[in-house]
Amino acid sequence: MNEFSIPESGLVVLIGVSGSGKSTFAAKHFGRFETLSSDYFRGLVGNDETDQSVTAAAFDALHYVAGKRLEAGLLTVVDATSVQPAARQSLIELARSHDVLATAIVLDVPVEVCLERNETRGEHRVPKSAIDRQHQQLRRSLKMLRREGFARVHVLSSLAEIEDAVITRHKLLNDFRDQHGPFDVIGDVHGCLDELVLLLEKLGYELVRDRQGRAVDAVHPQRRAVFVGDLVDRGPDSPGVLRLVMGMAAAGHALAVPGNHEDKLVRALRGAKVTLGHGLDKTLEQLEAEGPEFTREVQDFARSLVSHLVLDEGKLVVAHAGLIEKYHGRASKRVRAFALYGQVSGEKDEYGLPVRYPWARDYRGAAAVLYGHTPVTEVAWINNTACLDTGCAFGGQLSALRYPERDVVAVDALAQYAEPLRPLESPHGPQREPGVLSMADVTGPLHLKAGERGTVKLSAAQAAGALETMSRFATDPRWLRYLPPTMSPAESSARPGYLEHPDEAFAYFRKHGITEVVCEEKHMGSRAVLLLARNPGRFDAPEGWLGALHTRTGRDFLAPEVERALLQRAHEAVEAAGLWEELGSDWVILDGELLPWSLKAESLIKDNYASVGAAAVAATSAAVDLLEKAAGTGLELTALLERTRERSGNALAFRESYRRYVGNKDEIRFAAFQVLASEGKTHESRDHGWHLGIAQKLAVQAPDLFKDTAWMRVSLDSGESTDQAVRWWEELTMTGGEGMVVKPWQNLTRGPKGWVQPGIKVRGREYLRIIYGADYLQEENLRRLKQRATDRKRSRAMQEYLLGLEALRLTAVGEPLWKVHQMVFGVLALESEPLDPRL
Amino acid sequence: MLLTITLESAPGSGIDATALSHLLRKHPGKVQSFDLAVGQAHVFYPEYSKQRATAALLLEVDPVGLVRSKRFRGDAGALDYYVNDRPYAASSLMSVALGKVLRSAMTGTSESYPELAAAPLPLRFELPVLSTRGHAGRDLAKRLFAPLGWNVEQTPIALDEQHPHWGDSQYSALALSGEVRLDLALRQLYVLLPVLDDSKHYWVNDDEAEKLARQGEGWLEDHPDRELIARRYLAHQKDLVALAEARMDPPAVPEATADPGISEQAGGEAAVPLRVQRAMDVIAALKEHGAHRVVDLGCGPGALLRRLQADPFFTRIVGADVSARSLEQAAAALRLEERTDEQQERISLLHSSAVYRDDRLAGYDALVLMEVIEHVDASRLPALQDAVFAGAAPRMVVMTTPNVEYNSKYPDLEHGSLRHDDHRFEWTRAEFQTWAGAAATDYGYAVEFRGIGPVDGSAGTPTQMAIFRKDAA
């Protein structure tokens, strides 16, 4: 038996003269789709497997398909003669461009056998001269194959060897997907032995010491350590660190990847010429003192390290300088270079250090990537990556990240052992000009991380959909710090004669484990966000600026001078209510409703509602008149007349419904119902009693501007309480009131099924005429209208809510504008996608 | 939705008004109902005597079905909402009902009264709610029906009597009376109701052109507003209008009656329209300073791009706009799909915004903002300045904007109002020069100002241009 092994993914190139039995060999050893045969591709592109004139096109197609397979990480076997160096070179290039290993398998069959087989091929026969030529090319190639770039070359040099061949497949060296941890991933140690020992102890490892008292292993009952590299240089005891880590690795208690410092150390030990900077000279001295045997062990250990590790089913990747997604689990020189050194552009920064490409900023991969290499001030997650080098040798900390828990455990450096060449960077990268917004911030696809609460993905089309509105119609982004989420109605009511009813809203919250809700009157106005600030500078605004008032799509409501007067009055009320002191802030963002609705919607009311109303009343009353006249002549049309009378009544009722929204434009009222954010704080976790209390204080101080919101606290466990709420809703809506909003009393709540909707609206029967049309309550209409799905509306409401909360948080803690703007833009982008506008 | 048709016998005319039911082929003794895709139509006679007979066509529209059904999507978004006038106002829905319920009367033949079917009759049509949309306004009913021999009485309907200051709605009650052949009268209504309403509740396709020609036979050919009728009936689709025109043996087509709006004409004396002059002057400035690679930021539907494209001097052209719709129009205007790869590499379109920095706009010789800044809120101009001068930072920036001093030269423009609804401001020369001068100083450019268009002694030119140059600073 002639057994050999190939990597389980990557490229295999079969090399052999026509008639050497490559296809038979491939069929025996590889799967149906794994082998790409050049003859087959000739057939695909030219209808004839032997047509040499389509060779170029056939190889084009073959390379394309092979590329797609390699991209997907599949083993791919190319069945072509590949006896010419140029043909092989293009395949090696292909493997390289996908960062996979190329393996050559040569079927070196006596030329006579090939010729003999060729004779039996009938019309598929190849000219003898071609076989002879291929044979000579193969002979010449055999000597050079190993230098061409194949990771392994297997030559099967007899029919017997080919016949007996057994091919096994092995995992790549970086493939630790079957290792599930839990792990403690430890950042750059840089010779800081004392800190490493402290950290391991803090993590719950028990140190093992040799007879000289030197740490040679550390054991944890469940966990294993993973070192991100750069064990040596800078710190006081590189050999001590190496001894401990090598001991742990040998005992199976730790894994490690190499850092650039190990790489350089190996080269120095091998006698290569390297510059002895950054503490390497000291390390070499210390190793010299340890003796040649230890040095050799170090050399062997460092050489054995694989560029990066793929762990836990591919969900975790550890590489010293991080790794872009397409390099995960791959093997090539550039993968190794990236993993050890990061991507450098060749430029130097003002400290003379290489400028690195901020790969983590663009990382969108599913695997968490843990790395070190760049000392940063703190461990922070950036797009599912985290840098664990917190500059221990520079007097910072030695940090570990517990996986899968994702807690950071760190110990402070006991001393500063080296002088940093440049100040430690924020993990978020160099600070950009905070007020400058860039297309890159708002161009999709975007993954917006709404704090710890989840990530909202925006497609390119969604993002593009909001660009025009945001650029041309929204108020200035500097004071556009929040957009409210859309609000879902209750599910269609099971009751006859109702499209919406409180029952369904209560049922929703019960289902999500909520026992107490607040029912708030739904004002007949427009959703509005009011920002008031005593310190314009906080919002990068000009002197004398008071704040902003904008719609739920970010537009200004009022002409500047009207807005200014309103803001002035609002300031006075907030001042008088003592809100600045209560909040410990000199700015506040309030969520509320601006009345009357006609302020924003007068043209909508006139052009749409009143217009339809005029047509409806005129048309239906004319029809009633005529039918009555006809009935007078004795025609039988009772049913038609009845229906038409009902329509006429509906038309009048419809008109009444919109007329309630026409108010005096000089009597502007703001009904606040939530305090969204103030300096350093957001308030989504305060119960609604607190919020409504503040709203009431404002209404008491300035009834000419602030309007109170009627509300009722309802226990969902009590039938009496919910009945009372239903009666209250009926009273509110009987005469056309818009309805109510039901919210969890505790405010932001995570239930057993995830985040709970912040509010569900239950609109009044009469009011709904201006949404669903004058005749919507007719039985046949209502039956059909009840078929509506609230799911998509709710999932969008939730995404928008989470983005809005994050925008507020970022504002409260003073993060740069572009970050806030991304979140706000995200809400608008979600809104740009059409959804049933009646919901 | 309602239509009444009355035949009144003048004394001594010898006409028996009850012939109406024979001509319409609808029995006078009962209510007849017909199922339509959009609801139900009913025909009945509220009045029926030898002197005077009235037939009523009442259309009960299914308002929910109309919105929920996918087949009724032709109506420019009106049917996205349940609140709409479609069940009430006479429109294409009524035409469909006419075509279905009174089809035989529309052919002009009658077995029982062939002589009446072939003769003009004293008819009166009443529509209690007629919709008239668009610039043509309420006069349109008169314009359309009067040439056909109708006496037109139109009574506007108030928007809401509780709010009298809102004025009239777009609806009115319409009564037509005259001596017209019944089949012609019905076909005229069939065509002109959707024309007045300027919309259709279904998609308009090639069949409609054919239908227009057929229903228009005998009255539309010589109608003075034939072109407008065709345009509106065929939902403003040019190719269909041409098709219909070809079907109707065309007399001299009258001038297109374009809906009027303010046009920036330079006092009537300029041979070249201002928008053309503006593009020419911008291009001249670019050439003067050797700017071969140009970004047109806020390119709109491509007015300047087309001129840049036509001029080989410009080797690389980028059009950027915040409106995706404008970019589509620009791509069509530039015929990008028909261009070779090389040509497509020379010109490209980007969805971008003047108030965001955009790395893709960096590295060009010049950036043009032609009639753009006045569409940006003044509070966001600092962001625009940053994006243009610090972000894209070309060696040359060309901006044009209206000179508000010149507005007094536009007689159609009300005093104090701006040239376009979307203009956030219009500046005097001093205002523009102050702003541009400060921007130039802040970002290290030199700036030069020029006028575009005819010069007025005191008001200057209609458009003002600033040319910013880095190398001249």
> Between these two residues, B278 and A124, which has the higher pLDDT value?
B278
Distance from CA of A616 to the nearest CA of B (A): 5
State the average pLDDT over residues A182-208: 96
pLDDT interval class at B262 (50, 70, 90): very low
Q: Are A40 and A49 in contact (CB under 8 A)?
A: yes
State the average pLDDT over residues B128-153: 84
CB contact under 8 A, B82 and A441: no
C-alpha span between A192 and A229 (Å, rounded) = 13
Cβ-based neighbours of B395, under 8 Å, separated by 6 or more = B291, B365, B366, B469, B470, B471
Which pLDDT score, from 0 to 100, does residue A232 have?
94
Which pLDDT score, from 0 to 100, does residue A729 have?
96
Cβ-based neighbours of A440, under 8 Å, separated by 6 or more = B359
Q: What does the pLDDT look like over B185-244, one tens digit per residue?
A: 999 999 999 898 887 777 777 788 888 888 998 899 889 999 889 888 888 777 777 777
Neighbours of A419 (CB within 10 A): 9
Which pLDDT score, from 0 to 100, does residue A588 have?
97
Q: What CATH superfamily is the domain A175-412? A: Metallo-dependent phosphatases (3.60.21.10)
Average pLDDT of chain B?
Answer: 87
Question: Residues of B with CB below 8 A from A609's CB?
Answer: 83
Closest CA to A577 of A426, A697, A409: A697
| B9 secondary structure, DSSP code | P
Is the pLDDT assigned to residue B267 strictly greater than 50? Answer: no
C-alpha span between A438 and A433 (Å, rounded) = 11
CB contact under 8 A, A773 and B83: yes
Which token pair is A17? 């003269």
pLDDT > 90 in chain A, percent: 73
C-alpha span between A180 and A190 (Å, rounded) = 27
Which pLDDT score, from 0 to 100, does residue B254 have?
38
Closest CA to A199 of A187, A212, A209: A187
Is the pLDDT assigned to residue A429 strictly greater than 80? Answer: no
Q: Does B78 touch chain A (CB under 8 A)?
A: no
How far is Cα of residue A737 from the mean position of the Cα atoms in its chain?
42
Average pLDDT of chain A?
Answer: 92
Question: Residues of A with CB below 8 A from B129's CB?
Answer: 615, 618-619, 622
Distance from CA of B52 to the nearest CA of A (A): 14
Closest CA to B170 of B188, B197, B143, B145: B197
Please count the residues of chain A.
839
Name which of A563, A612, A633, A763 to mutate to probe chain B: the one with the most chain B Cβ atoms within 10 A of its Cβ.
Answer: A612
Neighbours of A140 (CB within 10 A): 12
pLDDT interval class at A593 (50, 70, 90): very high
Which pLDDT score, from 0 to 100, does residue B260 have?
36
Which token pair is A752? 């057993």
State the average pLDDT over residues A579-608: 91
Distance from CA of A611 to the nearest CA of B (A): 6
Which pLDDT score, from 0 to 100, does residue A814 have?
86
Q: What does the pLDDT look like over A624-655, one tens digit per residue?
A: 999 999 999 888 999 999 999 999 999 999 99
Closest CA to B23 of B100, B126, B113: B113
Question: Residues of B with CB below 8 A from A623's CB?
Answer: 2, 58, 128
Which pLDDT score, from 0 to 100, does residue B290 have?
95
Range in A178-187, A556-565, B96-105, B258-267 with the lowest mean pLDDT? B258-267
Amino acid (1-letter code) at residue A457: K
Is the pLDDT assigned to residue A543 strictly greater than 80? Answer: yes
Residue spans of the domains in chain A: they are 2-170, 175-412, 598-659
Distance from CA of A499 to the nearest CA of B (A): 14
The DSSP code sequence of A474-504 is: S--GGG----PPP-EEPPPPSSTT-S--HHH
Is the pLDDT assigned to residue B138 strictly greater than 70? Answer: no
Strand pairing category for A368-371 and A316-319 = parallel
How far CA B282 is from CA of A321, B103, B389, B432, B436, in Å, comes to 50, 60, 18, 17, 17
CB contact under 8 A, B357 and A776: no
Q: Does B161 touch chain A (CB under 8 A)?
A: no
Range in A181-195, A303-317, A437-451, B284-298 with the lowest mean pLDDT? A437-451
Q: Are A53 and A42 in contact (CB under 8 A)?
A: no
Question: Residues of B with CB below 8 A from A608's CB?
Answer: 81, 83
The CATH fold assigned to B2-203 is c-terminal autoproteolytic domain of nucleoporin nup98 (3.30.1610)
| Out of A612, A618, A633, closest to residue B46 by CB | A633
Range in A344-358, A502-516, A711-725 with the lowest mean pLDDT? A344-358
CB contact under 8 A, B47 and A633: yes
Is the pLDDT assigned to residue B110 strictly greater than 90? Answer: no
Q: What angle do CA A519, A522, A526 make, to 5 degrees?
A: 145
For residue A772, what is the nearest residue in chain B, using CA coordinates? B82
Which pLDDT score, from 0 to 100, does residue A302 have?
93
C-alpha span between A345 and A589 (Å, rounded) = 44
Is the pLDDT assigned to residue B16 strictly greater than 70? Answer: yes
CB contact under 8 A, B64 and A776: yes
Question: Residues of B with CB below 8 A from A786's CB?
Answer: none
Distance from CA of B355 to the nearest CA of A (A): 6
State the average pLDDT over residues A296-301: 94
Q: What CATH superfamily is the domain A2-170? A: P-loop containing nucleotide triphosphate hydrolases (3.40.50.300)
| Out of B46, B65, B160, closest to residue A626 by CB | B46
Question: Residues of A with CB below 8 A from B58's CB?
Answer: 623, 626-627, 640, 644
C-alpha span between B114 and A443 (Å, rounded) = 71
Closest CA to A774 of A683, A653, A634, A668: A653
CB contact under 8 A, B160 and A464: no
Which pLDDT score, from 0 to 100, does residue A1 have?
67
CATH code for the domain defined by B274-469: 3.40.50.150
C-alpha span between A548 and A555 (Å, rounded) = 10
Is the pLDDT assigned to residue A758 strictly greater than 90? Answer: yes
Burial pattern A622-641, b for ≥16 Cβ within 10 A else e, equals bbbebbebbbeeebebeebb
How far is Cα of residue B310 from the mean position of the Cα atoms in its chain?
29
Q: Does B73 touch chain A (CB under 8 A)?
A: no
Name which of A362, A436, A472 to mutate to probe chain B: the one with the most chain B Cβ atoms within 10 A of its Cβ.
Answer: A472
Question: Residues of B with CB below 8 A from A635's CB?
Answer: 29-31, 44-45
Distance from CA of A20 to the nearest CA of B (A): 45
Which pLDDT score, from 0 to 100, does residue A651 have?
95
Distance from CA of A776 to the nearest CA of B (A): 8
Question: Residues of A with CB below 8 A from B163's CB?
Answer: 610, 662
Phi/psi-derived region of residue B322, left when phi > 0, alpha when psi is between -120 and 50, beta in every other case: alpha
CB contact under 8 A, B160 and A770: no
B305 SS3 class: helix
CB contact under 8 A, B159 and A637: no
Which token pair is B415? 């005093």
Which pLDDT score, from 0 to 100, does residue A250 have?
95
Burial pattern A185-203, b for ≥16 Cβ within 10 A else e, equals bbbbbbbbbbbbbebbeeb
Residue spans of the domains in chain B: they are 2-203, 274-469
Question: Residues of A with CB below 8 A from B128's CB?
Answer: 618-619, 622-623
pLDDT > 90 in chain B, percent: 56
Task: Tell me: cis bond preceding A596? Omega within 30 of 0 counts.
Answer: yes
pLDDT interval class at B253 (50, 70, 90): very low
CB contact under 8 A, A635 and B45: yes
Which pLDDT score, from 0 to 100, does residue B256 have?
38
Which pLDDT score, from 0 to 100, does residue A454 have?
87
Strand pairing category for B168-180 and B151-158 = antiparallel
